[in-house]
């Protein structure tokens, strides 16, 4: 079980309001990702749920029980920290067993759970090593192991992959998703990387300046961003946002079009432009095209085979069905 609700939760440090009042419900078994630029309050929100910070006002309930005043250890949550926060003086075995030892569990049960967790996380050969003797990925797994053994109501991850190199990150991303499928436990995951959010989440919570901008499944957010911030934040490469006359033609202050929703042609189309830099990824090619429609170059996706010289003249045609329209406040117009 692990249904977490935040009601009218607000956090301020002195006069500085980090999180204006917000409501949020996390369903049991969900993989929820808090995503947003750095300093948006996503880590603070996680720490409020963990109990490492006190809320200034509002209520947090876990499985229907008011947990607002409950100390962190009693909330039944486990957390994986950005720095892993492994105890340097304890072996891997002792690190993983520590929460069990604190709970006063008997030795045999501790041993059984540690062995299980180690097997799941491929740590069996490293149980007697110290954290200092492990690689980054292994340390990460120990931190996860320490969380798993408690069989918590929910896992909290605070940017757990940011200290790993790119290749390991992709691997660990899969492992954590795999773990979620297997355990079916609620997981709350904080990241600033929208790719992690898109690939892992059941539900994404986009935050900016402590405010929830939008909550929804990855595809919902991708297909129907409710404002220009979400539109620009979710998706890589970013959505093209066009202001001015071209937007006004569609009855909006800003229009958005994703790179894959623009057709590119060398002889005819709606917008004429000049090819700038081309990025060849093999499967796709992204062209940055300067057109009269927008002051910024537009990003356009084409097939991997397509090749255009720097400075070549091209024509772009947006697919009108995939056009996103936003009003002067940046809100989506249906």
What is the binding site for another protein (CB under 8 A)? 50, 52-53, 71-74, 77-79, 81-83, 85-90, 98-99, 102-103, 146, 150
Least separation in angstroms between CB 110 and another protein: 13
User: 60 or 230, CB closer to another protein?
Assistant: 60
User: 154 or 230, CB closer to another protein?
Assistant: 154
Least separation in angstroms between CB 166 and another protein: 22
The answer to whether 121 touches 140, Cβ cutoff 8 Å, is no
Least separation in angstroms between CB 98 and another protein: 5
The answer to whether 243 touches 253, Cβ cutoff 8 Å, is yes
Least separation in angstroms between CB 79 and another protein: 5
User: 81 or 315, CB closer to another protein?
Assistant: 81
The tokens describing 219, both together, are: 């595809």
User: 67 or 241, CB closer to another protein?
Assistant: 67
Least separation in angstroms between CB 95 and another protein: 10
User: 44 or 240, CB closer to another protein?
Assistant: 44
- With CA atoms as reference, report the closest residue to 266 among 215, 304, 307, 296: 307
User: How many other CB atoms sit within 10 Å of the CB of residue 253?
Assistant: 18
β-bridge pairing 203-208 and 57-62:
unpaired
C-alpha span between 116 and 238 (Å, rounded): 42
- With CA atoms as reference, report the closest residue to 180 among 64, 33, 5: 33
The helix (H) or strand (E) run that includes residue 291 is strand 284-291
């Amino acid at each position: 079980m692990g249904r977490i609700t935040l009601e009218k939760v607000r956090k301020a440090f002195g006069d500085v309001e980090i999180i204006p009042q917000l409501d949020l419900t996390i369903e049991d078994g969900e993989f929820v990702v808090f995503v947003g630029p750095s300093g948006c309050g996503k880590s603070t929100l996680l720490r409020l749920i963990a109990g490492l910070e006190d809320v200034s006002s509002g209520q947090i309930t876990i499985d229907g029980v008011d947990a607002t005043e409950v100390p962190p250890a009693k909330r039944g949550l486990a957390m994986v920290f950005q720095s892993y926060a492994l105890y340097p003086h304890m072996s891997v075995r002792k690190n993983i067993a520590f929460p069990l030892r604190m709970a006063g569990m008997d030795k045999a049960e501790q041993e059984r759970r540690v062995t299980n967790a180690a097997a799941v996380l491929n740590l069996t050969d490293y149980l007697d090593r110290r954290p200092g003797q492990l690689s980054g990925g292994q340390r990460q797994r120990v931190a996860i192991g320490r969380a798993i053994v408690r069989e918590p109501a929910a896992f909290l991850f605070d940017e757990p992959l940011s200290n790993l190199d790119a290749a390991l990150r992709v691997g660990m991303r899969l492992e954590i998703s795999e773990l979620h499928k297997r355990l079916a436990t609620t997981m709350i995951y904080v990241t600033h990387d929208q790719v992690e959010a898109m690939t892992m989440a059941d539900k994404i919570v986009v935050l900016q300046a402590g405010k929830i901008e939008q909550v929804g499944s990855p595809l919902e957010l991708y297909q129907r961003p409710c404002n220009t911030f979400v539109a620009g934040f979710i998706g890589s490469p970013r959505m093209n946002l066009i202001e001015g006359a071209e937007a006004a033609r569609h009855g909006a202050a800003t229009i958005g079009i994703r790179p894959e929703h623009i057709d590119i042609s060398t002889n005819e189309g709606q917008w004429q432009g000049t090819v700038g830099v081309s990025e060849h990824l093999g499967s796709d090619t992204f062209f940055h095209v300067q057109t009269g429609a927008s002051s910024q170059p537009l990003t356009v996706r084409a097939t991997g085979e397509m090749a255009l010289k720097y400075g070549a003249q091209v024509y772009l045609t947006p697919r009108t069905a995939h056009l996103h329209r936003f009003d002067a406040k940046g809100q989506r117009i249906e």
